[in-house]
Structure 1
Amino acid sequence: MSLATLTSAALLFASSFRLAGAVAAQVFEPPSKGPLVQTSNYTSFSNNTLHNPRIVKGKAFDRIIQVWLENTDFETAATTPVFEELAKQGLLFTNYNSVTHPSEPNYVAALGGDFFGMHDDNMYHIPSNISTVIDLLEEKRISWATYQENMPEDGYYGFSFTAPNYGNSSAAPYPYYMRKHNPLIIYDSVSQDAARVKNIRTFNDFANDVVNGTLPQWVFVTPNMVNDAHDTTIDFAASFLEYWLLPLLTDKRVNCDRTLILLTFDENESSVIENTVFTLALGGAVPKKLHGAKDNTLYTHYSSLSTVQANWALGSLGRQDTNATVSNVFSFVAEKTGYKNVHVPANQTPQFNLSAVVPGALTSAKFIPFAAPNLRAKGAGGGPVFLRPGLDRRITAASLPPPVNMLALNSTTPWQMSSRTMSGKQIIPCASSACP
């Protein structure tokens, strides 16, 4: 069955489902004439393009594009026709795991190597002395950006954004954009940096950057709340991929023989089963001999960090990205970089379906300060642990005080904000008593 035929089938199915409690079903509607055509459905048009003339060669790829979808069990995605067809064009990871529930902590973990105890989707910010993959990339002058569908403007700081419903003009405006799916805005080291925040960009910016030949080397893409399957179904997301991703797979400005495209999900839907998510390595950097193959190595969202580190011989964050058990490097990249993965027997797989609250700086129930990373850790890239200015190295995992239930004190972690902070770029100073 061709992908064109699958489009009609997916749209027919999409038209038949109803969201729980919704008055009318949502039907996939392309927001633009194509993924590289700017549209007023995204609120604002791009008024600038990036300038990325330098290409830093990697050992297995020169560009990585991560595309994150939402809340779907592995088998649900794996048996959806569009995903089945895509799997024939890439390498399917059959043991790739989300690291917790719900959504937001997974996004945070994939950028900073930890979710710091976060166990909800509230509005948080992480102090500027906590490092992320962006620090590691910039050390080697590797360009980067995130592109957020329906974010109204570059660097938008608000909790959400509601826009006219482009799929149904007679329906009420829709909250297409949610901050919880935009991890770089959560880290103060990016969102409160005047230069870096410009790289938190919109989908109209994506079109502009591709057309102008300035798409960065490290790219993180978040579709909106209907196109990523969060508020809809896997078939709806499949229709989005046919509209947006499939044309890009054949566009050399995006996908060349040195491009790795990682299509994944933030978490699964069923909390009673292992948190395995459908994850597919696509793009020209995936060896053709692996197209249609399956890889059962234990990977997690931390593996996206370690794989990038190994590819460009970067330093590390000294957190879960250096925990070899949960941060195996993608096999074909490990082969080219000489990194030796850890075999984890099935009966020893860590528990990724966390339901209990764990201590951390981003939980009010068991609050502890941010701890410094393990400075002696060795990551897949071989470089040193990156330390941001202002980090107190004396606060280590071993020296942390007992967790405090701040809720019992009628308070919350100092890193949680009110969701009523809807817009603007608030610079929130670090409270000295809570800083690491």
Structure 2
Amino acid sequence: MKSVLYALVCLIPAVLAGTDAGAQTFKPPSSSPTAQSTNYVGQSNGTLPLSALVPGKVFDRFVQVALPKFWHHSSVLIKAQIWLENTDFAVASTTPAFQSLTQQGILLNAYYALTHPSQPNYAATVGGDYWGMADDNLHSIPSNISTIVDLLEAKNISWASYQENMPTDGFTGSSYASKNYINTRASSYTYYMRKHNPTINYESVSLVPSRTARHRNFNDFAVDVTASALPQWLFVTPNLVNDAHDTSIDFAAQWLQYWLLPLLADPRFNDNRTLILLTFDENESTNVNNQVFSVLLGGAIPQGLRGTTDSTYYTHYSPLSTVQANWGLGSLGRGDTNKTLSNVYSLVANVTGYKNNKLSGSSIPSTSSSGKTPGPLNPNGLYAPYPPPNLNAVGAGGGPVFVSPGIH
């Protein structure tokens, strides 16, 4: 009976994906991560314009690669800025593939997601709040709400969001189905979901043509890498099979080997001033605190720190505060300035002089609840209006809270 139940559980992702389990075998979408693919809709329409480099204090490029939803099975214990979805720290940290990656970087073993389910964590890491959100529904956050984009552009720091299988630059639809390149005998497949593309969910981005144009697909990524035209801040999300959302962790591990490992060795992507965050959006167990496996990679990590562990308490607000500290940016006056939740990665804090809190063990707050935070997007009747930013807040970059006409 156990074996039958186990087999049924393992089939669930494939059934939900609308295909048989045998069809979901990893197939590289292109010959390499720097080659365009006919499996995507449309070839690249050119590279991003080259921008003057704005030097940072520790890194000059910050990459978050998002691998969203994981259905795990007992034979491969892995879960997953690269972001993956829904697995406990203890499970992921025992996986050989992730153990190997930690030898190349810094394991962050006290890193926590902010809530459940997936989408609010994505929204928070670019906007400093998840607005009471507790679902994966389509949301458009009003244009008077600022994001990391405002902070970057205020200092002329280039940025882009690269989304695999997104059909066109600046696409704002909730999803997109294209030809099934995994199983060519099957019908079209929904590979792209907007909920994993965090900046496009903010109207301060999606209603500005110059900003929507910086939401590009993986054919664009290929030409930007080849032309050494990558921006200084990147958020990268693979499609719903390569991120393990509709498949398995075996599948996602093969995608990492195909996509990330070659790029780690490519100086056009990863030079000695590049910092890469690989993390999970949330853990799988809602009855324990929301700890997620996370590791820092890239050439910006000194050789002496590779293979080490940083036990500082971090959350999905920490990428915001770390980027602010590195480039001396202003802040959003939200979770990015919350002194409990927004510690800066020690690699950067030690250079910039930022003082992290010393929370550990039982003093770490619980962030495992869902739907209990009031806000304008709360689905459970706990409505509260969009709050203004705290204009008196001081962020890790030392600059003022961002304020612009019509945006807060």
Equivalent residue number for residue 369 of structure 1: 385
Task: Please state whether the residue corresponding to 1:260 is helix, strand or coil.
Answer: strand
Find the partner of 1:280 among 287, 295, 298: 295
TM-superposed CA distance for 1:163, in Å, is 1.4
Find the partner of 2:279 among 234, 258, 264: 264
Equivalent residue number for residue 100 of structure 1: 115
Q: Name the CA distance, whole Å, in 1 between partners of 2:14 and 2:278.
A: 30
Q: Is the 8 A contact 1:71 1:229 kept in 2?
A: no
Q: Is the 8 A contact 2:375 2:385 kept in 1?
A: yes
Equivalent residue number for residue 39 of structure 1: 37
Task: Please state whether the residue corresponding to 2:150 is helix, strand or coil.
Answer: helix
TM-superposed CA distance for 1:211, in Å, is 0.8
Identity percentage of aligned residues: 58
Q: Name the CA distance, whole Å, in 2 between partners of 1:138 and 1:356.
A: 33
Equivalent residue number for residue 199 of structure 2: 184
Find the partner of 1:84 among 76, 96, 99: 99
Find the partner of 1:289 among 304, 325, 332: 304
Find the partner of 2:187 among 172, 184, 189: 172
Residue identity matched to 1:377: A
1:215 aligns with 2:230: yes
Q: Is the 8 A contact 2:117 2:370 kept in 1?
A: no
Q: Is the 8 A contact 2:330 2:395 kept in 1?
A: yes
Task: Please state whether the residue corresponding to 2:213 is helix, strand or coil.
Answer: helix
Judged with a 3 Å threshold, the aligned counterparts in structure 2 of structure 1 residues 204 and 20 are, in CA distance, closer, same or farther, namely closer
Segments of 4+ moved more than 6 angstroms: none
Unaligned 5+ residue runs, structure 2? 1-9, 66-82
TM-superposed CA distance for 1:297, in Å, is 0.8
TM-superposed CA distance for 1:388, in Å, is 3.1
Task: Please state whether the residue corresponding to 1:137 is helix, strand or coil.
Answer: helix
Equivalent residue number for residue 406 of structure 2: 390
1:247 aligns with 2:262: yes
Q: Name the CA distance, whole Å, in 2 between partners of 1:356 and 1:128.
A: 24
Q: Name the CA distance, whole Å, in 2 between partners of 1:162 and 1:32.
A: 18
Residue identity matched to 1:368: A
Task: Please state whether the residue corresponding to 2:343 is helix, strand or coil.
Answer: coil
Q: Is the 8 A contact 2:146 2:407 kept in 1?
A: no
Task: Please state whether the residue corresponding to 1:42 is helix, strand or coil.
Answer: coil
Find the partner of 2:53 among 52, 55, 58: 55
TM-superposed CA distance for 1:52, in Å, is 2.4
Q: Is the 8 A contact 2:180 2:187 kept in 1?
A: yes
Unaligned 5+ residue runs, structure 1? 1-16, 393-436
Q: Name the CA distance, whole Å, in 2 between partners of 1:21 and 1:141.
A: 44
Q: Is the 8 A contact 1:76 1:234 kept in 2?
A: no
Equivalent residue number for residue 64 of structure 1: 62
**After superposition, where does 1:293-308 map in structure 2 within 5 Å?**
293-308=308-323
Judged with a 3 Å threshold, the aligned counterparts in structure 2 of structure 1 residues 20 and 312 are, in CA distance, closer, same or farther, namely closer
Equivalent residue number for residue 24 of structure 1: 21
Equivalent residue number for residue 253 of structure 2: 238
TM-superposed CA distance for 1:172, in Å, is 2.9
**After superposition, where does 1:195-214 map in structure 2 within 5 Å?**
195-214=210-229
Q: Name the CA distance, whole Å, in 1 between partners of 2:297 and 2:281.
A: 18
Equivalent residue number for residue 160 of structure 1: 175
Q: Name the CA distance, whole Å, in 2 between partners of 1:63 and 1:261.
A: 8
Q: Name the CA distance, whole Å, in 1 between partners of 2:333 and 2:346.
A: 22
Residue identity matched to 1:132: T
Kindly provide the CA deviation profile for residues 116-165 of structure 1, in whole angstroms up to 9, marking residues without a partner as x.
Answer: 10000111101111110111111110000010011111111111111111
Task: Please state whether the residue corresponding to 1:379 is helix, strand or coil.
Answer: coil
**After superposition, where does 1:116-155 map in structure 2 within 5 Å?**
116-155=131-170
TM-superposed CA distance for 1:21, in Å, is 5.9
Q: Is the 8 A contact 1:149 1:224 kept in 2?
A: yes
Q: Name the CA distance, whole Å, in 1 between partners of 2:28 and 2:289.
A: 33
Equivalent residue number for residue 226 of structure 1: 241
TM-superposed CA distance for 1:166, in Å, is 0.8
TM-superposed CA distance for 1:55, in Å, is 0.5
Kindly provide the CA deviation profile for residues 342-399 of structure 1, in whole angstroms up to 9, marking residues without a partner as x.
Answer: 011311211111134321011242222211110000100000000232258xxxxxxx
Kindly provide the CA deviation profile for residues 203-241 of structure 1, in whole angstroms up to 9, marking residues without a partner as x.
Answer: 111001111111000000011111112222222111100
Q: Name the CA distance, whole Å, in 1 between partners of 2:282 and 2:177.
A: 24
Q: Name the CA distance, whole Å, in 1 between partners of 2:140 and 2:165.
A: 21
Q: Name the CA distance, whole Å, in 1 between partners of 2:97 and 2:253.
A: 6
TM-superposed CA distance for 1:20, in Å, is 4.1
TM-superposed CA distance for 1:76, in Å, is 2.5
Q: Is the 8 A contact 1:71 1:230 kept in 2?
A: no
Q: Name the CA distance, whole Å, in 1 between partners of 2:89 and 2:220.
A: 31
Residue identity matched to 2:391: L
Judged with a 3 Å threshold, the aligned counterparts in structure 2 of structure 1 residues 117 and 201 are, in CA distance, closer, same or farther, namely same
Q: Is the 8 A contact 2:333 2:391 kept in 1?
A: yes
Q: Name the CA distance, whole Å, in 1 between partners of 2:133 and 2:86.
A: 17
Task: Please state whether the residue corresponding to 2:318 is helix, strand or coil.
Answer: helix
Q: Name the CA distance, whole Å, in 2 between partners of 1:273 and 1:137.
A: 35
1:319 aligns with 2:317: no
Q: Is the 8 A contact 1:19 1:231 kept in 2?
A: no
